[in-house]
């Protein structure tokens, strides 16, 4: 592999990891605090991408539309998240996981049908802001400007999440919920409100991923399940409930896929690697690389 191919492979892996990190961190946070595997997490990502197409279309200037979408779509999806938590999940805490899975899977179907009714079945595209189109020249190489923006955005969100979790009272309570929900219950924190807030943050992160990915791929009806599978693998590898786990997990998945594709011998199996890795982690360290074993 030549040096230029190596650089491009690393960049491709990092840019793929960026959006996956955002989505996986939301999934992981919700599981960590609420102990719910939200199958509809990918649906929230898809809804945000479709909302982005509508917002960008509404404004003739794509930059204004896209910047507004970065704020409005996650806010709208966070509100949808609040409704899901209050109306559906709140009734299922403490019940068996199967019920939670079924309920959130039902939401997957509801969102898929709803998006189809509102936006139709046609794939849609979003034009990125002018200044993010085209490529950046790196000597003899060219790499898309927008993909650099994705990496930058993921780093900003990662830093923001770190500050939220480790430097605020809300973050302290969330970490307490992840570590020991029963103790938190006894400490006088309004757990119901905390859970709604956490779910809104998780939904907002999925939505942010959906907005950011929309200028880089077809916005279509399959994107909910596509992203969920990858986000789930990342969360399991990194450790459900761990921000660092999502970060490292996303890097592993992004880079493993990118390098896997580059070699003819492994190209066909590059996706399988991720799931093999997931299975190995589950066998050796079921709580993931950065997770904590569940205390009974």
Partner 1 sequence: MNRLPTLSKKCLALLPALLLVASACGGTTTGGGTTFKGTKKVGLSTSLTGSVASYGQAGLNGMQMAIDDVNNKGGVNGYKIELDQADDAAVASRGTDNAKRLILEDKVVALFGAVSSGVCLAESPIAKQNSIPFITFTCNDFNLTTTKFQPYIASVVPNTYMEGRAIAEYLGKQSKYQTYYVIAPDYSFGHTEADAFKARLKEINPSAKIIGEDYPPLGATAYAPYINKILAAKPDIVYSNIYSGDLVTFVTQAKPFDFFNKVSFSTLTSTDDLQTLGTSFPTNLLGYARAPFYAIDTPENKDFVQRYQARFLKFPSEWAIMGYDAYNLWANAANKAGDFAADKVMAKIVGQPFKSLRGTFTIRAIDHQADVPEWVGVTATNPLYPFPTFATATLVPGASLLMSEADVKKLQPTS
Q: Kindly list the residues in this chain that would bind partner 1 in the complex (CB under 8 A).
A: 2, 4-5, 8-9, 11-13, 15-16, 112-113, 116, 120-125, 133-135, 142-147, 213, 215-218, 220-223, 225-227, 257-258, 261-262, 264, 267-268, 271
User: At its nearest, how many Å lie between partner 1 and the CB of residue 155?
Assistant: 19
User: At its nearest, how many Å lie between partner 1 and the CB of residue 50?
Assistant: 13
Contact (Cβ atoms closer than 8 angstroms) between residue 30 and residue 40: no
Q: Which is nearer to partner 1, 11 or 84 (CB)?
A: 11
> Cα torsion at 37, 234, 230, 155 (round to 10°)?
110
Q: Which is nearer to partner 1, 152 or 166 (CB)?
A: 152
User: At its nearest, how many Å lie between partner 1 and the CB of residue 138?
Assistant: 12
User: At its nearest, how many Å lie between partner 1 and the CB of residue 31?
Assistant: 23
Distance CA 167, CA 87 (A): 31
| CB atoms closer than 10 angstroms to residue 198 | 23
Q: Which is nearer to partner 1, 101 or 191 (CB)?
A: 101
Which residue do the tokens 């490529």 mark? 135
Which residue do the tokens 């997957």 mark? 108
Q: Which is nearer to partner 1, 3 or 186 (CB)?
A: 3
- The half-sphere exposure of 39 on its side-chain side, counting CA atoms within 13 A, is 17
Give pairs for 189-195: CB < 8 Å, separation 24+.
192/90, 194/33, 194/170, 195/33, 195/34, 195/85, 195/89, 195/90, 195/93
Q: Which is nearer to partner 1, 124 or 164 (CB)?
A: 124
User: At its nearest, how many Å lie between partner 1 and the CB of residue 129?
Assistant: 13
User: At its nearest, how many Å lie between partner 1 and the CB of residue 57?
Assistant: 12
Q: Which is nearer to partner 1, 170 or 266 (CB)?
A: 266
Distance CA 264, CA 22 (A): 30
Q: Which is nearer to partner 1, 63 or 145 (CB)?
A: 145
User: At its nearest, how many Å lie between partner 1 and the CB of residue 24?
Assistant: 14
The tokens of 223 are what?
């994107």
Give pairs for 146-152: CB < 8 Å, separation 24+.
146/215, 146/216, 147/11, 147/12, 147/15, 147/216, 148/15, 150/15, 150/18, 150/19, 150/212, 150/213, 150/216, 151/14, 151/15, 151/18
């Amino acid at each position: 592999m030549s040096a230029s191919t190596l650089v491009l492979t690393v960049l491709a892996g990092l840019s793929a990891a960026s959006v996956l990190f955002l989505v996986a961190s939301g999934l992981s946070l919700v599981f960590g605090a609420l102990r719910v595997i939200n199958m509809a997490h990918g649906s929230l990502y898809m809804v945000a991408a479709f909302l982005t197409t509508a917002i960008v279309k509404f404004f003739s200037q794509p930059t204004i539309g896209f910047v507004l979408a970065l704020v409005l779509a996650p806010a709208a999806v966070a509100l949808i998240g609040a409704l899901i938590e209050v109306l559906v999940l709140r009734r299922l805490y403490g019940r068996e996981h199967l019920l939670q899975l079924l309920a959130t899977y039902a939401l997957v179907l509801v969102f898929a049908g709803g998006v189809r009714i509102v936006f139709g079945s046609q794939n849609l595209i979003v034009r990125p802001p002018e200044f993010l189109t085209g490529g950046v020249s790196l000597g003899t190489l060219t790499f898309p400007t927008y993909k650099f923006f994705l990496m930058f955005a993921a780093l900003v969100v990662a830093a923001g999440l770190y500050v939220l979790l480790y430097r605020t009272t809300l973050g302290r309570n969330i970490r307490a919920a992840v570590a020991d929900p029963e103790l938190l219950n006894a400490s006088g924190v309004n757990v119901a409100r905390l859970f709604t807030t956490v779910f809104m943050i998780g939904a907002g992160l999925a939505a942010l991923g959906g907005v950011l990915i929309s200028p880089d791929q077809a916005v279509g009806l399959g994107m909910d399940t596509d992203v969920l599978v990858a986000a789930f693998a990342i969360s399991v590898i990194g450790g459900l409930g761990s921000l660092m786990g999502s970060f490292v997990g996303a890097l592993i998945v992004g880079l493993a896929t990118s390098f896997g594709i580059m070699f003819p011998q492994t190209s066909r199996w590059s996706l399988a690697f991720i799931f093999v890795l997931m299975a190995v982690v589950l066998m050796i360290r079921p709580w993931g690389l950065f997770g904590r074993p569940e205390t009974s």
